[in-house]
Amino acid sequence: LSRIAREEGVLALWNGVVPTVARAMVVTASQFAAYDQIKETLLSTGIFRDNPSTHFTSGFLAGFVASCTSNPVDVIKTRIMNMKPGQYSGPIDCTIKTVRSEGPLALYKGFVPTFVRQAPFVIVTFVTLEQIKRFYRYLDSR
């Protein structure tokens, strides 16, 4: 940290903060929206019931959606955080230069590790959330 502050300036410590916040918003919005939509769709088939296996499946698929939507932001965030001074003027410039030089699939570099990391987290989050909701419904019914 001190080397970065000394050589690149204190503001360099905040390189990538905008894409990091954007990523957090994209991940959270996509996983919550996807989870609810997927769960509703599974339940509407009549095959699935509102139980932990449905919550697990919905969480797994929501993790996939969140990985698909967040991976491009991750790639750009990482490139901005590791850029040489002046390499990119911002996230949009970084995205344009990346796609032009490497193609659109460059935005999905590292997708498998992202999904392998994100899916279990999303599964645990939503299975836990559903169990907490079930517990509160039980308390309300007493």
Neighbour tally for 33: CB within 10 Å:
14
Gap between the Cα atoms of 34 and 28, Å rounded? 10
pLDDT greater than 80 at residue 25:
yes
User: Residue 14 has what pLDDT?
Assistant: 83
pLDDT band at 45 (very low <50, low <70, confident <90, very high): very high
Planar angle of CA 97, 103, 105, nearest 5 degrees: 120
Mean pLDDT on 110-137: 96
Query: What single string gives the DSSP state of each residue in 71-82?
Result: HHHHHHHHHHHT
User: Residue 20 has what pLDDT?
Assistant: 78
User: Residue 142 has what pLDDT?
Assistant: 84
Residue with tokens 């990482």: 78
Prediction pTM value: 0.80
Gap between the Cα atoms of 87 and 100, Å rounded? 15
Mean pLDDT on 76-84: 87
